[in-house]
A and B are shown apart, each in its own frame.
Chain A
């Protein structure tokens, strides 16, 4: 399945390069009309090691359903959702506004919105994640201090806002203005870096379902749909980007800062892989 997809992408990329080079002003028109790719970067994609079903089977063989049951019975991250709700309804900053002032009591108007994030934001001419947007709203609209990334409050609001989209299918846009950032994210995902010369894709596409020393490498199909998540190893809740930094540390690679441009692009790429899957926030991971 993945082979066909990667071949189609490769062919599309080549075609796009041919078309792009011959029709110079096609870019803006194309983004308005249909979902035709602009000239994409050359990314040597791997063939996926195994189907998702096979990966799941393998995971269950090794670990059973213990973690799944823990997530269902008692995910400590869920206990912060009430705080997220309170913060959404609480006035903050110099303008006497709360998130609810614009987004409805309990943030009700935000239902479904997180399913489209990360998304291109014309105001920042880049990709906005929910966490970033929360801070942008606070600073720009509320005259409030931005919340430190990975702090309890930041995570609580992010989790709460995203949980309003629980069950809805993820549908992030990777076309039009989002496209160049999606491409950057994809290039980063496949680019070898660090002392071990790994890339995200080497493990999570090429060797997903295989063992990396004593860990079973996860398939990336659902990586985008359940963050922030409670991680057993952290004994805390953290964002997808915190997880990126953890992986990069293990890869002995450089670690970009939270909500840096490349991390937002990467988050867009990873979330797009989960397009169609239901939002399930907060998650629980090893």
Chain B
């Protein structure tokens, strides 16, 4: 299995964080963010930085649009836990954890996992009920290569929240 020598033009985490201004939550106010996308004011990726969104590639944007249209996805209330470097891309443990309530009238009804660089970015979705008690789901997934992993949760009222992590997947070592 040859290692692909393509270095994506993706920014480093540090650069991305600076640009997206994750340091201050206020920057992620909807109006400010959608103005970052002059070409696509109603992009489903309105909660991401412009440069990072570009590096994501066509496929995942289509997949996200198909799932969420132009709805806003707020980058809060969800934590996606992944390893920084996956020892083996065939088995990457990920955990979606949301602190949102799980009550009869207010609960997380669905959680989604996407991996940008997989042939099909949609990995899995989970339907929850208040009886689930906690909006946490862990799964082991396959990743084709170093990629952004996205966790998106949807409440019963249709509000979307999300988190992303970049997971490095190495190929072409000597691990047999």
A–B touching in complex (CB under 8 Å): yes
Give how many A residues have a beta carbon under 8 Å from the other chain's beta carbons: 23
* A94 proximal to B (CB < 8 A): no
A246 neighbours in B (Cβ, 8 Å): 176
Whether the pair B176, A62 counts as a contact (CB closer than 8 A) is no
Docked complex: B54-98 residues within 8 A CB-CB of A: 83-88, 90-93
Tell whether A64 pairs with B90 under 8 Å between CB atoms, given A215-B170, A247-B176, A250-B176.
no
Tell whether A215 pairs with B140 under 8 Å between CB atoms, given A66-B83, A70-B91.
no
Nearest-neighbor residue (CB-CB) of B83 within chain A: A66
Nearest-neighbor residue (CB-CB) of B88 within chain A: A232
A185 vs B86: C-alpha distance when bound (angstroms): 33
* A79 proximal to B (CB < 8 A): no
Q: How far is the CB of B96 from chain A (nearest CB, A)?
A: 16
Whether the pair B83, A63 counts as a contact (CB closer than 8 A) is yes
* B8 proximal to A (CB < 8 A): no
From A62, A69, A212, contact of B85 by CB (8 A): A62
Whether the pair A214, B172 counts as a contact (CB closer than 8 A) is yes
A203 neighbours in B (Cβ, 8 Å): 174
B136 neighbours in A (Cβ, 8 Å): none
Whether the pair B90, A233 counts as a contact (CB closer than 8 A) is yes
A233 vs B142: C-alpha distance when bound (angstroms): 11
B83 neighbours in A (Cβ, 8 Å): 63-64, 66
Tell whether A233 pairs with B86 under 8 Å between CB atoms, given A66-B93, A214-B3, A214-B170.
no
Whether the pair B176, A66 counts as a contact (CB closer than 8 A) is no
A212 vs B173: C-alpha distance when bound (angstroms): 6
Whether the pair B174, A215 counts as a contact (CB closer than 8 A) is yes
A226 vs B20: C-alpha distance when bound (angstroms): 46
Q: How far is the CB of A220 from chain B (nearest CB, A)?
A: 15
* B171 proximal to A (CB < 8 A): yes
B175 neighbours in A (Cβ, 8 Å): 215, 233, 286
A243 vs B174: C-alpha distance when bound (angstroms): 12
Q: How far is the CB of A226 from chain B (nearest CB, A)?
A: 16
* A249 proximal to B (CB < 8 A): yes
* A3 proximal to B (CB < 8 A): no
A66 vs B3: C-alpha distance when bound (angstroms): 23
Nearest-neighbor residue (CB-CB) of A249 within chain B: B176
What is the 8 Å Cβ interface bit string for chain B, positions 28-67, against chain A (1 contact, 0 not)?
0000000000000000000000000000000000000000
From B87, B170, B171, B172, contact of A232 by CB (8 A): B87
* A67 proximal to B (CB < 8 A): yes
User: Which of A66, A232, A235, A243 gathers the greatest number of chain B CB atoms within 10 Å?
Assistant: A66
From A66, A69, A211, A250, contact of B86 by CB (8 A): A66
* A125 proximal to B (CB < 8 A): no
Docked complex: A55-87 residues within 8 A CB-CB of B: 62-64, 66-67, 69-70
Whether the pair B176, A243 counts as a contact (CB closer than 8 A) is yes
A247 neighbours in B (Cβ, 8 Å): 176
Q: How far is the CB of A178 from chain B (nearest CB, A)?
A: 28
Nearest-neighbor residue (CB-CB) of B87 within chain A: A286
A121 vs B85: C-alpha distance when bound (angstroms): 44
B92 neighbours in A (Cβ, 8 Å): 66
A211 vs B172: C-alpha distance when bound (angstroms): 12
Whether the pair A286, B140 counts as a contact (CB closer than 8 A) is no
From A66, A69, A235, A250, contact of B90 by CB (8 A): A235
Tell whether A232 pairs with B173 under 8 Å between CB atoms, given A64-B83, A64-B84, A66-B83.
no
Across chains A and B, which 9 residue pairs bring their CB atoms closest together, nearest first?
Answer: A215-B173, A246-B176, A214-B170, A214-B173, A212-B174, A232-B88, A66-B83, A215-B175, A286-B87
Please report A residues at the B interface, Cβ cutoff 8 Å.
Answer: 62-64, 66-67, 69-70, 203, 211-215, 217, 232-233, 235, 243, 246-247, 249-250, 286
Can you list 28 pairs linking A and B with CB atoms under 8 Å apart?
A: A62-B85, A63-B83, A63-B87, A64-B85, A66-B83, A66-B87, A66-B92, A70-B91, A211-B173, A212-B173, A212-B174, A213-B3, A213-B173, A214-B3, A214-B170, A214-B171, A214-B172, A214-B173, A215-B170, A215-B173, A215-B174, A215-B175, A232-B91, A233-B175, A246-B176, A247-B176, A250-B174, A286-B88
Give me 7 other A-B pairs in contact (C-beta within 8 A), A243-B176, A286-B87 excluded.
A66-B87, A213-B172, A214-B171, A214-B172, A214-B173, A215-B175, A286-B175
